[in-house]
Amino acid sequence: LRPTPEKKEEKERVRLALLRGTLRLAAVHGFPSLGLREAAREAGIAPTSFYRHFEDMNELGMALIHDLLEPRLRELADSLQSADPGQGPADELVARTFKFIEEDPELLRFLLAEQHGAFPAFRTALRTRLAALAEAVHAASGPGTPLSAAEASIVLLLDGAGRALDSEPGARQAVAVRLVETMDRLLSNPQNGPGA
């Protein structure tokens, strides 16, 4: 008794509408203040239909992390493998991250907010995924760079992304440039000077 692929796709579409609608609302009011009925309304389904997809809003939040955010972060990490090895990873990483800001600001806002938000399950899940990104940065950095510096560079990256989100789109380029400088300062070996 398996459902036809078309039925599966249909269900997937509604599920995605719930995820995207929730992100849209969370960008305005914040995820923790959202209710199940609000999410269902935004997705265009009846409140009771919510339960066909998620048990509650927490489960939906975890799906946001797993289904939407994780692929994005993996993409960022993978892009560092093919980056210019003479340059250091900061430039490539910031460029990709700011493209991410343009393409999906709501998802980034969610990441920023819940990274230090009140729900421990979100914090833990997000930190795990950001740690993986930090490892990729570490691998793409010079041999003298400690892992803690790579981790710190991710922290700066996220904070810079948050500042960019709150800036006018025209001012974002300046934020990006300063961010790359600071990350380079942190990642490059002080003994050898920056960029070596």
Partner DNA sequence: TGTACATCAGTGAACGCGCGTTCACTGATGTAC
Which residues contribute to the site for DNA (CB under 7 A)?
1-4, 6-7, 10-11, 14, 35-38, 45-53, 56-57
* Residue 94 near residue 160 (C-beta atoms within 8 A): yes
Interacting partner of 29 out of DNA, its own copies, none (Cβ under 5 to 8 A depending on kind): its own copies
* Residue 189 near residue 142 (C-beta atoms within 8 A): yes
DSSP run (H or E) holding 170: none
Interacting partner of 66 out of DNA, its own copies, none (Cβ under 5 to 8 A depending on kind): none
Kindly state the tokens that stand for 174: 């300046």
Residue among 53, 60, 49, 54 nearest 23 (CA): 60
**Using CB under 8 A, which of 15, 17, 30, 42 touches its own copies?**
30
The Cα-based distances of 144 to 89, 152, 154, 191, 196 in angstroms read 14, 15, 18, 9, 10
The type of residue at 175 is: V
How far is Cα 106 from Cα 183, in angstroms, rounded to an integer? 24
The strand ranges marked E within 28-135 are none
Q: Which stretch binds its own copies (CB under 8 A): 9-17, 65-73, 90-98, 174-182?
A: 174-182
Q: How far is the CB of 156 from its own copies (least distance, A)?
A: 5
Site for its own copies in 135-164 (CB under 8 A): 148-149, 152, 155-156, 159, 162
Nearer to DNA, 31 or 98 (CB): 31
Q: Is 82 in the site for its own copies (CB under 8 A)?
A: no
Residues near its own copies (CB under 8 A)? 26-33, 109, 112-113, 115-120, 123, 148-149, 152, 155-156, 159, 162, 166, 178, 181-182, 185-186, 188, 190-191, 193-194
